[in-house]
Chains A and B, each alone.
Chain A
Amino acid sequence: MKKLLNALSVLMMVAILAACGSNNGAASAPAPTNNTAAGGPEAEVKAPVKTELKMALTVDPDGLDPHRTTAASTFQITNNLYDTLVKVSSDGEFVPGLAEEWKVSEDGLTIAFKLREGVKFHNGREMTAEDVKFSFERLKGEESPRAGDFSNIVSITAVDNYNIEFATKALDVALVSQFAYPWTAIVPEEAVEQLRNNPVGTGPFKLEQWVPQQQIVLTRNNDYFTPAKLEKVGFIMMPDATSQITALQSGELDIINVSGDAVPQFESNSEYSIIETQANAVQVMAMNLDNEALSDARVRQAINYAVDKQALIDTVWWGYGQEIGSHYPPMLKEYLDTNDAITYDPEKAKQLLEEAGYAQGLTLEMYLPSSYPNYVAAGQVIADQLKKVGLTINIHTVEWGFWLSDVYTGRKYDLTVTGHTGRLDPYALLARYHSESKENYMNYKNERVDEILTQVQQERDEQQRLKLYQELQQILAEDVPALYIQSPIGLTVTAANVAGYQSYPIDIYEMKDVYFTN
C-alpha cells in the first residue's frame, strides 16, 4: 500500500512539474451586471449585450502611477485610467486628447496647447492648465525615471485655465510626440501620494479593484467626454499561455495575445477572430563591442552572414514576423529596406572570420532572458547556426532582473537576444546608437552616427531628416552592431463578439472603443 502511495507521489510530482506555472489565475468572476441602474424600476433590457470584458495580462503592472515607473506592463493599462494631452491613432497620427488643439511657434521652441473644457478627474474636480503644469513638473522631478526625456522642456506657463505653453531649450522637431506617450498622463495634485495603488485620472475608466498577481477591475467613468461602451473591464493576470488559451475557450476571457503556434487552433473557428498587427518594434541579437573579437566589424558581419533569418523567424515565431536589416520597423514611414545589405551566406561568413583571424574558431557568451521564451528559443537557433561556421556559443539563461542589471545596464555580455519597442519619433528609437547614450548597451561607436544623431535633432527640413535617418539605417545595416532579426507581428485573439479592439504604435491596451456585438 505504502509503495503504491510512493509510486503515486512520484507520478504526482512529475505531473506537478509538468503543470508548474499553469496556474489558473482567474478569480471567481462576479456575475455580469447588465442592469445599468441598480435597484431602479427600469424594465428589463430586451437583448442584453455583454458589457463586461476580460483580457489576460502576463505581467502585473509595476504600480499605476505613470510618472514613477518605466514598466511597459503599467502603461499597457494606464491609458484607460488617465489621459494625455495628445493621443495617437492606430495608424500613427497625432489626434486631440485632453488638448483640443496645439500650435508650435515659428522658431519651433515653444508649443501651446488649448485644453478641452469641462474635463473632470475621477474625484469630481475639473482638470485645468495648472494640473497639466503640475503633472509635467512631477514628470521632470527628481523621483521620475523619465526626467531625462523631458529635460529639454525648460518652462511651463499656464496662460489661463485652458491654455498652456511649453518652452524648450533646444529645437526638437518631434516635440508634439513628447506629449503623446502614456507616461505623460495628467494627474491631480491632491491624489499623487496614493497614485501607485489608487489611481485618479481623467480617463474613460476608474479603478474598481486591484488584487496584485490576480486581477485589475476597471469600471466606466460616466462623466467622460466620449463615454466608453463597456461597463467593466477586467485585466486577469495569467502568465501561462496555455492557461490563457483554455480560459478563452471556456469563455472566461474575451481577449488574449498569443504566439504563432496557437494560430491553427483559432484560424478556422468562427467563434474567434484573430487580429494581426505589424508591431512598432524590432527584435535583435545585440553584440557587445567591448569584446575584442566583436569590435571587429568583419566578425559582426560574419555573424550576420551566418544566420538564416527566415528560418529563424519560421522556427521561433512561426513565420509571424518581418525580416529586417537594420534597427527600424517597416511600419514607420522613414523605413528603408536594408535586407539586401547582408544576406544568408555561411561561406562568406567563414571567409570573413578567417580574414579577421578567427579561422580556428571563437567562443562567445550569450545571455538570454528566461522570462521571454521566444528570445531563449531564438538564441538557441542562432547559436546552432553560428556553430556551423565555427563559433562556439555558451548559452546562459538568466532572470529578467539579472538581465536588466548585469546585461543591459552593466553591459557584461557578448551576445544577447532582446526586443526594442518602437517610439513615436525616429530619433527616440535610434538615439541609443549615440556613443554617449546611456542606453547604448552595445558600446557602439561610430563618428558618422554620432554626427547624424546630433544633426537630425536640429534639422527642420523633413526631406533632409528623412535622408539622415535612412543614411543611419544603412550604416547600421552594414556595420551591424547587432543581428537585426525581425519586426514582430502581434497576434491577438478575441471572442468573435468583441468589436472595436485596435492596436496602436505604442504598446497600450485601449478599451474605450471596445464593445460586444451579439
Chain B
Amino acid sequence: MRKGKNNRLVLLGIALVSMVVLLCLTSFIYLPHDPNNMNTIDRLHRPSGEYFLGTDQFGRDILSRIMISTRYALLVGLVSVAVGASIGVVIGSIGGIAKGVLQSVIMRVIDGFMAFPGMLLALMLVAVTGKGLWNAVLAIAIFMIPTYARLAYSLVIDQKNELYIKAAKSYGATPWRIIVKHILPSMLPKLITQFSSSIGGAILLESSLSFLGLGVQPPNASLGLMLSESRQFTLSYPYLAIPSGIVLVIAILGFNLIGDALNDTTVGRRKSV
C-alpha cells in the first residue's frame, strides 16, 4: 500500500519536473515572442491565440517570459546546489576526519551558518556580493554549504568506525583514498536525496530574491520578478500573477516530491501512517 502510494507520488514529481524541463528546453528551440520585447499597445491582453497566456503591463508575452524564466530557475537550482553541495561535502568530510581543535572549529563555523534563517543569510550575501543572477547563484550556493557539510560530517563519522574502513586503514590506505574510494560511494544515495530536495528550496530562494529585486534584474524575466511585477495589479488584473505562480509551484513541488520519494527508498525512515 505504502509502496504504491510512494510510486505514484514519485511519478507525479517526475511528471511535474518534466513539464518544467520541457518548457525550458522548448525555449531554446522556439519562443512564441521575444520575451523582453515591449509592445505597449497590446498590454494586459487576456489569453488569446496570439498570446497564449496573455500579456503583462508592458505588452510582453507572458508565456515566452515564463519559458525564459524556467531557464533561470533550473540553472540557479542545479548550479547553486551543485556548487554548494560539492564544497559542503568537502568541508564536512574534512571535519569528519579531522580531530580535536580543527574539527571543532570547522563544525562550529558550519553550525554558526546554520543558525541563520536561510533568507536572511541569502539577503546578507547579496548585500555583500551585489545583485544579479550569478550573485544570487553564489549566495544560494553558500546557503547550501552548511546542510551538506553537516550531512557529510555525520556520514563520515558514521562510517569511520565500520569494519571495512578499519580494514582499509590496516592495509595502509591514505585518508584521502579511504574517503574517495570507500566513504563517498556509501554517502551517494543520501546526497542525491538531499540534492533533489535542495533544488526546490534553491528555486524558491531565487524567486524570493528576484521578488525583492535582488536576483535577476529587469527587463529579464524570472518567476519571482514576474510575481513581484504583477503584485501592483492584484485588484485590477488578478490574472497576471497566476501563470508564473503556478509554474513556480509546479517546479518546487516536483523536486520536493522526488526528493521525498528518494528519501523513503534510500533511508526508509518513514514507516508510519
Contacts and interface: CB of A to CB of B under 8 A. Distances in A.
Contacts, number: 98
Interface in A383-429: 383-384, 394-397
Contact of B231 (A6, A11, A242): A242
A333 interface: no
B9 A3 contact: yes
A242 B240 CA distance: 14
Contacts of A20: 211
B57 interface: yes
Given A242-B235, A380-B218, A397-B213, A10 B38 contact: no
Contacts of B213: 370, 397
B8 to A, nearest CB: 10
Contact of B252 (A10, A381, A394): A10
Main secondary structure of the interface of A (DSSP, over half): helix
Contact of A242 (B36, B211, B234, B249): B234
Interface string B23-51: 00000000000001110100100000000
Interface stretch (A89-97, A257-265, A321-329): A257-265
Contact of B233 (A1, A13, A261, A397): A261
A22 interface: yes
A191 interface: no
A29 interface: no
B65 to A, nearest CB: 13
A373 interface: yes
Interface in A203-223: none
Contact of B249 (A10, A22, A265, A381): A10
Interface residues of A, number: 39
Given A6-B256, A311-B40, 17 more contacts: A2-B273, A7-B256, A11-B249, A22-B231, A242-B235, A245-B235, A262-B236, A315-B59, A370-B213, A377-B58, A379-B218, A380-B38, A380-B218, A381-B40, A384-B58, A384-B219, A396-B131
29 contacts: A3-B257, A6-B256, A7-B253, A10-B200, A10-B204, A11-B249, A11-B253, A14-B204, A17-B204, A17-B211, A17-B227, A20-B211, A21-B231, A22-B231, A242-B231, A242-B232, A246-B235, A259-B232, A265-B236, A311-B40, A314-B40, A315-B40, A315-B59, A380-B58, A384-B58, A394-B217, A395-B217, A396-B131, A397-B213
Interface of A: 1-3, 6-7, 10-11, 13-14, 17-18, 20-22, 241-242, 245-246, 259, 261-262, 264-265, 311, 314-315, 370, 373, 376-377, 379-381, 383-384, 394-397
* Leading 9 A-B pairs by shortest Cβ distance: A384-B38, A315-B40, A397-B213, A370-B213, A242-B234, A380-B219, A1-B273, A10-B252, A261-B236
